[in-house]
Amino acid sequence: MTSHRFDIARQGYVSLLDGRSTPHRSDTAAMVGARRRVHESGLFDPVFRAVADAAWPVPGSDLESNRPPMVLDAGAGTGHYLAATLAGSDELWGIGLDLSKFCARAIARGHPRAAAVVADVWRPLPIRTASVGAVLSVFSPRNIDEFARVLHPGGVLVVVTPNADHLGEIVGPMDMLGIADDKDRRLRSALGDRFEVIGEHPVAHRRELDAAGIGDLVSMGPSAFHRTADEIASAAAAMTEISGPCGVTVSVTVTVCRPTTGDHRRVSR
């Protein structure tokens, strides 16, 4: 058996990328900075609470060895959702996994019981079979087969998806990517026979945002790959120049799923 060693970066994360190319783009430092400012503003606090509530109680990840309950945030971004979930209990530990090293740095700083890993969610996850009590997938890619493999039999998968009116006031004026009309159907199709939906919880509220806040909302997501920072700032300033701060709606659905009965998991790694 070959032994592998992975160094911990001085910023506190481990990179498990193997050098193979990927078609997926990872978040930049500027995107991570914008997301941190948005999350620290409290705009998504109701969603943080809904995700933490949906993940709780987290079952023990390995009852025989008495390991503590574990939460995996796959595509964790800055780690704010993972941190909110870990805050529910001093016994919880977490792993935040993201393709971006800048996200991993933020995750490592975000909570003392969160480990940060750079890895591709679309590839086999570097997680033991049946070893986590909850998997979070918040506005991120969903590797359903791997989620089913790593989850404890009594665990939960928590998925957050945007509703049609999410950020609806600024999508057009800011030339943002829209919400797919068939997102609900695609989620159900992806879950297939691996998971059953046990709850759906809509979360919605509205907040007045100034130009800087609107700019950060655009800059933290995939729309930032298609426009320069100056273009985003200019468009945000134009939105608020006459009427002042703009009301923006945060509207998502938190879907809670459990693994279906039967042995669908792959062989342990």
pLDDT for residue 21: 53
Q: Is residue 83 part of a domain?
A: yes
Domain of 18 in residue numbering reads as 13-159+180-202+254-259
DSSP state of 63: T
In-domain check, residue 236: no
- Residue 6 inside a domain? The answer is no
Q: Give dist(CA 21, CA 197) in Å, integer.
A: 34
pLDDT above 60 (res 181): yes
In a domain, 86, yes or no: yes
Q: What is d(CA 147, CA 150) in angstroms, rounded to the nearest whole number?
A: 5
In this structure, is residue 36 part of a structural domain?
A: yes
Q: Where are the alpha helices (DSSP H) in the chain?
A: 29-40, 45-55, 80-86, 101-110, 144-150, 168-171, 183-191, 211-219, 229-240
* CATH assignment of the domain containing 146: 3.40.50.150
Read off the DSSP letter of residue 244: -
**Residue ranges at the known binding site for Zn(2+):** 4
Give CA–CA dist 151/140, Å, rounded: 18
For the stretch 14-56, pLDDT in tens is 888 776 656 668 899 999 999 999 999 999 999 999 999 999 8
For the entire predicted model, the pTM comes to: 0.89
Average pLDDT (83-109) is 94
How many domains does one find in the chain? Answer: 1
- Give per-residue pLDDT as tens, 215-267: 999 999 999 998 999 999 999 999 999 889 999 999 999 999 999 975 444 43
- Average model confidence (pLDDT) for the chain? 88
User: What pLDDT was estimated at residue 17?
Assistant: 74
Res 109: pLDDT: 93
Residue 99 lies in a domain: yes
Question: Residues forming the annotated binding site?
Answer: 4, 44, 78-79, 166
List C-alpha distances in Å: 180 to 44, 69, 104, 184, 224. Answer: 21, 35, 28, 9, 18
Residue 193 lies in a domain: yes
Return the higher-pLDDT residue of 2 and 7: 7
Binding positions for S-adenosyl-L-methionine are 44, 78-79, 166
Residue range 129-135: average pLDDT?
A: 94
Considering the domain boundaries, does residue 8 fall inside one? Answer: no
